[in-house]
């Protein structure tokens, strides 16, 4: 397989996992939150990623394009915010990836929205809180090769406030393997924080 094909396949895998990551992140963040008073759930709103940190080292070396030029195992505590934000932006419809945000609606829909753009929102899936309010699940519709038509992401535990969603995503498929960028993937545990922009 030629290097360009491998790179193309790796990008497709990363884009697919971006959708999964976003959904997981959203699921994770809404677990704390239905309003017993009958008001709007605190997870409803438009959110941008503000931090992402590995809880454990990556099981294998991560390809050089993600690490700044060297294939390496990323240790626990590594700030992967730029990579995470890039993956989220790749999955969205925005002309400028920096404008990508995720919107959770009162009617339990998840959309990609573009801040400061005229690009129409892209309805990507749905979200749901568990009966006990401890888990946020996001079901993302995808047509990405190698993934099922619906990818469900679950976050638990999570915290939702009026301005932030944060929590841990376990077994998140995040990085391709440096040794097998075509089909090899790595699952990691990651702490993610979103900030509400509206």
The predicted model scores a pTM of 0.74
| pLDDT number for residue 30 | 43
The ranges assigned to domains in the chain are: 3-196
* More confident site: 198 or 26: 198
Q: Where are the alpha helices (DSSP H) in the chain?
A: 3-29, 64-67, 81-91
pLDDT digits (tens, 9 = 90+) for 108-142: 999 989 999 998 998 888 999 888 888 887 777 76
| pLDDT number for residue 148 | 63
HSE, CB side, 13 Å, CA atoms: give it for residue 155: 33
* More confident site: 94 or 92: 94
Rg (CA), the chain: 16
**What is the DSSP pairing of strand 136-141 with strand 100-104?**
unpaired
CB-based contact 140:158 (threshold 8 Å)? no
Kindly state the tokens that stand for 8.
Answer: 């193309």
3-state secondary structure of 3: helix
Maximum pairwise Cα distance, the chain = 59
pLDDT digits (tens, 9 = 90+) for 159-174: 889 999 888 888 777 7
pLDDT digits (tens, 9 = 90+) for 5-33: 444 444 444 444 444 444 444 444 444 44
Interatomic CA distance for residues 128 and 135, integer angstroms: 8
HSE, CB side, 13 Å, CA atoms: give it for residue 122: 20
| pLDDT number for residue 157 | 83
The beta-strand segments (E) located in the chain are 45-54, 100-104, 109-114, 122-129, 136-141, 150-155, 158-160, 164-176, 185-196
pLDDT digits (tens, 9 = 90+) for 38-75: 567 889 999 999 999 999 999 888 888 888 889 999 99
Mean pLDDT (whole number) for 141-163: 74
* More confident site: 98 or 175: 98
């Amino acid at each position: 397989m030629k290097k360009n094909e491998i790179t193309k396949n790796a990008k497709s895998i990363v884009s697919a996992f971006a959708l999964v990551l976003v959904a997981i992140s959203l699921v994770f963040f809404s677990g704390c939150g239905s309003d017993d008073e009958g008001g709007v759930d605190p997870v409803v709103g438009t959110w941008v990623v503000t931090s992402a940190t590995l809880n454990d080292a990556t099981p294998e070396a991560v390809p050089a394009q993600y690490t700044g030029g060297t294939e390496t195992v990323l240790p626990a505590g590594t700030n992967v915010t730029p990579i995470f934000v890039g993956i989220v932006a790749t999955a969205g419809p925005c002309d400028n990836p920096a404008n990508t945000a995720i919107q959770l609606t009162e009617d339990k829909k998840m959309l990609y929205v573009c801040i400061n753009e005229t690009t129409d929102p892209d309805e990507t899936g749905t979200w749901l809180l568990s009966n006990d309010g401890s888990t946020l699940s996001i079901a993302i519709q995808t047509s990405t090769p190698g993934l099922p038509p619906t990818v469900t992401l679950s976050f638990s535990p999570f915290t939702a406030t009026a301005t932030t969603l944060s929590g841990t995503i376990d077994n998140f498929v995040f990085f391709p393997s440096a040794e097998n960028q075509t089909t090899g993937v790595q699952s990691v545990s990651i702490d993610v924080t979103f900030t509400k922009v509206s």
